[in-house]
Amino acid sequence: MTTRAKLENKAYEPREWEDPACPVCGSREHSLFERFGDRGQYTYVLCASCRLVYLAPRPKYDDGFVHEAYEFYAEDSDRLVKSDAFLEATLPKLSLELDELARYDRSRAALLDVGCALGNFLYAAKPRYQAVYGLDVSSRMAAFIETTIVANVFRQRFEDLETPIRFSAIRMSHVIEHIPDPNRWLQKAKGLLKEDGILVIDVPNAFALDTRFKLALKRAGLRKGTWDPSWTPDHLYEPTVPGMLRLFARNGYEVLDCYSHGTGDPIASSAWAAVYHRRWVQGSKMRFYVRPANPATKTG
């Protein structure tokens, strides 16, 4: 959410607006889910068909919006780029994720981390993979990774990536909710994965128990959401389990695993997590392991 507007201490105002259909299924039937923003100027709606929560209307997704929303990092980046100590600090939890990923990606040939930001996951994955690559629209983040971690980073949008490399794993952590057409991304990933390649997607959970509780308080007038006027509404949708499952089925992927998790238990490994996160999927973050389905098992 950090933008150039925040650096310049001024409010963000969309240059243009657009009124999209549901990014997953294309339906235009929806109901109001939430109003937010410092003036209530943004609206999330709930798709009546696939139950995805998405932003409508929204700022027009063009080069100007991408530049405002993602090229400028104002919060902690200046501190982080002066030291690589934060890479070691995040290593233990990311190692747990990589241990889990190894159960699905046994070849560990080449990894692509889409939306790699400051490269924490690449740093953790580098000793485990034959090759690691990042992709980010921020030239500043890409330069930091190439200098500090010494890993190659594609500086472009994922849908525009052209490379002869085929990846045994592609990771998208809290990035797909920022792009207007997730169907296009899933089809692109198919062309970049090796046979039996794995796609890992981490997203927020709009139907998480704590999220729904806070929303209920807000609707009752007992809680006010916080929104800095400089923030861009860059989550173009807030994923839900039904919406994500519809997305994977529509694009010919089979789901190998699906669960929610919290910050303290990134792979939902505790006894409590077995019910709350893995059976009920009630945590604020969700993870999906998927791969392209065999032609005979595609569900459409």
Of residues 6 and 57, more confidently modeled: 57
Q: Output the domain CATH number for residue 26.
A: 3.40.50.150
Mean per-residue pLDDT, 67-73: 68
Mean per-residue pLDDT, 46-60: 97
Q: What's this model's pTM, rounded to 2 decimal places?
A: 0.92
Angle between helix 182-192 and 241-250 (nearest 10): 50
pLDDT-derived band at 230, boundaries 50, 70, 90:
confident
Residue 296: pLDDT over 70: no
**Cis peptide preceding 20, ω within 30 of 0:** no
**Number of structural domains found in the chain:** 1
Least confident of 85-94, 179-188, 245-254: 85-94
Residue 214's domain spans which residues? 4-297
pLDDT tens-digit series, residues 100-114: 999 999 999 999 999
How far apart (Å, rounded) are the C-alpha atoms in residues 194 and 128? Answer: 17
For position 144, what pLDDT does the model report?
84
Residue 190: pLDDT over 60: yes
pLDDT-derived band at 148, boundaries 50, 70, 90:
confident
Least confident of 47-51, 138-142, 218-222, 261-265: 138-142
How far apart (Å, rounded) are the C-alpha atoms in residues 67 and 176? Answer: 17
How long, in residues, is the chain? 300
Mean pLDDT for the chain?
A: 90
Residue 75: pLDDT over 80: no
Phi then psi dihedrals of residue 42, to 5 deg:
-115, 150
For position 297, what pLDDT does the model report?
41
236-253 residues labelled b (16+ CB within 10 A) or e (exposed): bbbbbbebbbbbbbbbbb
221 torsion bin: left (phi>0), alpha (psi -120 to 50), beta (else): left
Residue 292: pLDDT over 50: yes
